[in-house]
Chains A and B, each alone.
Chain A
Amino acid sequence: MSNIKNHKSKAIVGFVAVALMMGMSLPKAHAQLSSANYSGRYACASASDDNFYTAIIKYGPNGSGAYAAGTLIASADAFTTFPTVSPTGDYCIYTLDTAASSYSIGSDGSGFESLSWTSTGPNNATLGCPGSFVDQTAIGLRNDLNASGATLRSEFTSANLLGEDEPGHGHCLK
């Protein structure tokens, strides 16, 4: 009887050792990402056409494929001579049409955005800024998440910044 117990205890010890080794060496599955990981406020820098067109964006993906709000501010030097209105007024300003904008993120963290920007800046016409436009991006979420599961950074490449039909790219930071 005692011999059996002794063998059992040895078997358990062996099993545990193997289990521990397995636990330490098993490859870990990739985290699954989704639209839920893109939420809250992001500040983005974007450029296209050899960095001739540049813009900053502040927007709020809602974690489920839509946006709560968004603002795009672009340097007007691409369209007029500085300063036209004033040093602080020479910017083209747009507001995100949230009803016409959306995004999707696949499980590998890559996805697409469709962003409909409405011209709303008071000086846009004077500065020769482009009118309202639709931009689209291919976007990838970094797998570095905050406590609520939102990514801290995304990378994107865009197809139509400021409606100029030029490829561009940039990043968004939490």
Chain B
Amino acid sequence: MLKRKWVAAKLFAVLGGAGLAFGLCVPSASAQAPTPGNFSNANYANRYVCNLASDDDFYTALTTVFPNGGGTFTSGTMEAPVSAFVAFDPTLPPPANFCAYSLDVAGSSYAVATNGTGVEVLSWSPASTNNPSCPAGFLMSDSFVMRINGAKPSGAVVRTETTSDNLLGEDEPGWGPCLK
């Protein structure tokens, strides 16, 4: 009887080890897959690349943001072409022809409503190496709506659609998608 228990425990240990390995390899199940009416901050998590534009698409920017699933961000970057502010110089390497910003995570946050819409406030700090013609740091806000289809097993959505206020501090309405 005891021997059976011991064998069963060993078998369980093997299965547990496999389960642990499996758990380490598959996406976390900490957030629910989104369905209409049960969205939350947890569905906006990890990395998104956003392609934003404002003022008839005159101002453009590419952002990479890392929402943490809990209403704040772990990091973020933005690159915007300098040609909106000063002449493009083809003799310079690419980073010198873009205005770079990093996300001030302490001053940034987001909130997702149960219907899948959300708001975020993003505080962007300029890189010290920016061309002097680049805008200074700025605060922008976005309203976004989450897509349901294609959500990751972790519950993170794969795409949001965004409308923005104040991209690059230019006080112009803008828009764009964010993709996982």
Interface set of A (CB-CB < 8 Å, partner B): 2, 5-6, 8-10, 12-13, 15-17, 19-20, 22-28, 30, 47-51, 108-110, 112-114, 133-134, 136-144, 153, 155-160, 165-171
CB pair B16–A15 under 8 Å, yes or no, is yes
CB pair B28–A9 under 8 Å, yes or no, is no
Cβ of B28: which chain A residues have Cβ within 8 Å of it?
Answer: 24-28
* Residue among B23, B28, B93 facing the most chain A CB atoms (10 A cut-off): B23
Inter-chain residue pair count (beta carbon < 8 A): 172
CB pair B23–A50 under 8 Å, yes or no, is no
CB pair B94–A169 under 8 Å, yes or no, is no
Q: Is B64 an interface residue (CB 8 A)?
A: yes
- CB contact under 8 A between A155 and B154, given known A20-B23, A160-B83, A165-B87: no
Cβ of A158: which chain B residues have Cβ within 8 Å of it?
Answer: 60, 81
Q: Is B53 an interface residue (CB 8 A)?
A: yes
Chain A interface mostly helix, strand, loop or mixed? mixed
Cβ of A26: which chain B residues have Cβ within 8 Å of it?
Answer: 23-24, 28
Interface set of B (CB-CB < 8 Å, partner A): 2, 5-6, 8-10, 12-13, 15-17, 19-24, 27-30, 46-47, 49-51, 53, 56-62, 64, 66, 77, 79-84, 87-88, 90, 93-95, 97-98, 154, 158, 176-177, 179-180
CB pair A110–B24 under 8 Å, yes or no, is no
CB pair A138–B51 under 8 Å, yes or no, is no
- CB contact under 8 A between A159 and B9, given known A23-B20, A25-B30, A167-B80: no
- CB contact under 8 A between A110 and B23, given known A134-B90, A140-B62: no
Q: Smallest CB–CB gap between A80 and chain B, Å? A: 23
- CB contact under 8 A between A138 and B49, given known A23-B19, A108-B64, A155-B179: no
